[in-house]
Amino acid sequence: MLKQLEILNARYLQARFVSRPLMFNKPSGTSRGVLTEKPCWYLIVTDEVGNSGIGECGPIWGLSLEQPETYERELARVCDLINDFPLVFEDGQLNLFPSIRFGLETALLDLATGSRQQPYPSPFTEGADGMRINGLIWMGTRENMLAQINEKLKNGFRCLKLKIGAIDWSTEQEILGGIREHYPPEQLELRVDANGAFGTHEALQKIKLLHKLHLHSIEQPIQPGNWQAMAELCRQSPVPIALDEELIGVYGATQAQLLDTIKPQYLILKPSLLGGIEVCEQWIKLADERNIGWWVTSMLESNVGLNTIAQWTYTLNNPMPQGLGTGQLYKNNLPSPLYLNGEYIKYNPAEDWDLDVILGQR
């Protein structure tokens, strides 16, 4: 449990949740299909004088550990036991519901720090500094992906992350080759994310073909759970490998076992997917001890979840481009102080939050 939450132990708390699915502006392609909406629940924790903290619980069915049929039941359990929240964190049940753990952790953190949606005050929240992020290119047709790439480059991004593995392999190579032909590595960093789309017997061959494109890294080339195959791939691959889905559901002593077995070059840390900020900080500590690089990525949260992730990430002082969006994907996102300035995510402290739609005031 985060140390900042100890201040809440003496307060009487109540909790509730509201469902508010996020609607995409346009269908977004992933290796798991095309997304048109994303489930989202807001967990609201209120103290005896009416102050409220808000956290976001946002799974992605088929990727997250959670199952739709038991999700709201667990949210209700958490709300019923809110005054025993230290035990809720420790009983192990939330390991099966990592996005709820993240939502509970951040709702309590918001409440403990003044209910201002500023859990990590810093030069970032003062508007004095920003963070470099990568531009995310969604899977789609060749024309659609090229249009996305051109837009990101026009907006000043120097690091692009492309989802691969869902369209024709030769077309993907052609798109990547076309980018590199016009933008050498010193001008543009290229990351690719296969989401486990490569077979274990073809992965190394495909990665060797990608190597000539001078990629920064490839995320999760094969399906998670194949530790020995992934370890061999990390040992032989000419392109650095980042673990993503491989980290899902891994807690405690198994975290170190995984890293010592696979020996990856990078970790991708998604608080909503891995069980919150405290769990991600455990991964960071283990990675730093082993000279494994890492960066933080959001997981299609609304601005509520993204805000906490961005503020926390800034305090980590990681100079690499982070995988943080700005909530521009959704029709019904909440306005927030977060905004993009070129390839930087920034925070405007003069902008107010409009949380009434969550709190039920309208």
Domain co-membership, 12 together with 72 = yes
Q: Of 38, 152, 163, 206, which one is the catalytic site residue?
A: 163
Domain co-membership, 96 together with 162 = no
Distance CA(2)–CA(75), nearest Å, equals 20
Domain co-membership, 107 together with 156 = no
Domain co-membership, 208 together with 99 = no
Does residue 312 carry a pLDDT above 80?
yes
CATH number at residue 332: 3.20.20.120
Using DSSP bridges, classify how beta strands 189-193 and 293-296 pair: parallel, antiparallel or unpaired: unpaired
pLDDT number for residue 32: 58
Domain co-membership, 87 together with 135 = no
pLDDT number for residue 31: 55
Domain closes at, from 112, 143, 166: 112
Domain co-membership, 310 together with 171 = yes
pLDDT number for residue 303: 95
Is 285 annotated in the active site? Answer: no
pLDDT in tens, 136-182: 988 778 788 888 889 999 999 999 999 888 778 888 888 899 889 88
Domain co-membership, 108 together with 161 = no
Is 3 annotated in the active site? Answer: no
pLDDT number for residue 115: 95
pLDDT in tens, 82-108: 999 999 999 999 999 999 999 999 999
pLDDT number for residue 341: 93
Residue 125 in any domain: the answer is no
pLDDT number for residue 11: 87
Residue 121 in any domain: the answer is no
Distance CA(337)–CA(308), nearest Å, equals 12
Domain co-membership, 186 together with 103 = no
What's the chain's average pLDDT?
93
Domain co-membership, 139 together with 89 = no
Domain co-membership, 42 together with 190 = no
CATH number at residue 12: 3.30.390.10
- Reported confidence tier of residue 315, pLDDT bands at 50, 70, 90: very high
Sign of CA dihedral 223, 226, 229, 234: positive
Domain co-membership, 82 together with 187 = no
pTM of the model: 0.94
Given a contact cutoff of 8 angstroms between Cβ atoms, the answer to whether 211 and 221 are in contact is: no
pLDDT in tens, 316-342: 999 999 999 866 789 999 989 999 999
Q: Of 152, 161, 206, 270, which one is the catalytic site residue?
A: 270
Residue 100 in any domain: the answer is yes
pLDDT number for residue 73: 98
Residue 41 in any domain: the answer is yes
Which residue range is the domain that position 146 belongs to?
Answer: 131-358
- Residue 327: which region, alpha, beta or left (left: phi > 0; alpha: psi -120 to 50)? left
Instruction: Please give the average per-residue pLDDT across 21-26, as a whole number.
Output: 89
Residue 117 in any domain: the answer is no
Domain co-membership, 287 together with 245 = yes
Q: In the chain, which ranges are continuous DSSP H helix?
A: 68-80, 85-90, 98-112, 142-154, 169-182, 203-211, 227-236, 253-262, 271-274, 277-289, 303-315, 356-359
